[in-house]
Amino acid sequence: MVLARWLVSGDVRLLLLDHPTRGLDIGARSEVYRLMRELANSGVATVLLADSLEEAIGMSDRIIVMSDGRATTEVAAPAGGKPTPLDLVKEMV
C-alpha cells in the first residue's frame, strides 16, 4: 500500500526501497517484484536495500557492496550474467 501511494502521487523518477518485501507472503513478494521490474522498464531508478543476497541479485542490474559504511565494490548483475551469493560474499570480507 505504501508503494502504491507513492506511485500515484506524481511523476516518480527514483525509488528508495528499504527492505520492501520484509514480512510479505510469497504472493505479495511476487507482486512487489513485478511492480519493481515494470517501473525499472519504464525508466524509474531504484535503490534497493534487500533482505537477502538472492533478492539483491535477482532484482538488481548493479550491486554496490559496502563495508564499514563505505562502498567498496560495484558488481554488474545483468540479466544474462548474475553474480552468485559467493561472489558477493568474497567482496564483503
What pTM did the predictor assign? 0.78
Q: What pLDDT score was predicted for residue 3? A: 63
Is residue 12 within 8 A of residue 44, CB to CB? The reply is yes
Q: Where exactly are the structural domains of the chain?
A: 12-92
Question: Exposed, middle or buried, 88 (CB in 10 Å: 0-12/13-18/19+)?
Answer: middle
CATH architecture, range 12-92 = 3-Layer(aba) Sandwich (3.40)
Is residue 64 within 8 A of residue 71, CB to CB? The reply is yes
Output the tens digit of pLDDT for each of the chain's 93 residues.
566 666 666 677 888 899 989 999 999 999 989 988 988 888 889 999 987 899 999 999 999 988 888 899 999 999 899 999 999 998 888
Residue 35: name the closest of 17, 62, 61 by CA: 17
Q: What pLDDT score was predicted for residue 51? A: 77
- Grid cell listed for 76: 554488474
Question: Exposed, middle or buried, 46 (CB in 10 Å: 0-12/13-18/19+)?
Answer: middle
